Structure formats: C-alpha cells, structure tokens
Structure 1
Amino acid sequence: MTSDYTTAIAGLIAIAVVLTGMVAFVLSRPSDLSPDSR
C-alpha cells in the first residue's frame, strides 16, 4: 500500500512541477500569447 501512495504523490509532484514550469514560461512570454496587444 505504501508504494501506491508514494507513486501517487510522486505523480502529483511531477504534474505540479510541469504545470508550474509551463505557467512560468507562458508568463515570461506574454508577447507569444497576445502579439496584437503590442
């Protein structure tokens, strides 16, 4: 049972890291999402 919880937690952490990285990249590149605003 412990291994299952560990795997689930590791998966959630991995997803959180990926989402955080994507959000940071998008925020660092606002011109790519809204080039018309410029």
Structure 2
Amino acid sequence: MTGIRIAVLASGSGTDLQSVIDACEAGRIDGRVVVV
C-alpha cells in the first residue's frame, strides 16, 4: 500500500470531501480516503 490513509470529519454539503476524493483519484494526493 502506498500513500497516506485519510480520515475526514465533514459537515455541510461535502464539496471539500469530494475535492479530496477527486485529487486522490487524479494522483494529485498520494493517498486514499479510508473513513468519513
């Protein structure tokens, strides 16, 4: 497994969470969201 494991505390509409997920999938962040 490479990259960091990311935990997200979220409130609201989730746009920041989606931005993090999109960046992980695009390779801009070397990690993955593992818990919300």
Would you say same fold, with TM above 0.5? no
Q: Return the structure number with greater relative CO, CA threshold 8 A, min gap 6.
A: 2
Q: TM-score range by the shorter chain?
A: 0.3 to 0.5
Higher strand share: 2
In terms of Rg, which structure is larger? Answer: 1
Higher helix share: 1
TM-score under structure 1 length normalisation: 0.41
